[in-house]
Amino acid sequence: MLGWALTFLVVALIAALFGFGGIAGASAGIAQILFFIFVVLFVIAMIVRAFKGRPPV
């Protein structure tokens, strides 16, 4: 998912460079949303991992 966020960020930067404001804004918005979803899922995974712990050997 982080890869998709980076892809949309690159698309936004390239579109902004060539002057396509609408496409750049939309791509930047999508990249931002995907990035925050990735961060939330990462934090949830870390919390679950902390509470679950390692199984005994």
pLDDT of 2-57, one tens digit each? 787 788 788 888 888 888 778 778 888 888 888 899 889 989 988 888 888 766 66
Is 57 contained in some domain? no
Is 42 contained in some domain? yes
Is 33 contained in some domain? yes
Q: How far apart are CA 17 and CA 12, in angstroms?
A: 9
User: In which band, very low, low, confident or very high, does the pLDDT at 1 lie, cut at 50, 70 and 90?
Assistant: low
Q: What is the dihedral of CA 2, 6, 12, 16, to 10 degrees?
A: 150
> Which structural domain, as residue segments, surrounds residue 46?
2-52
Structural domain count of the chain? 1
Is 41 contained in some domain? yes
Is 44 contained in some domain? yes
Is 9 contained in some domain? yes
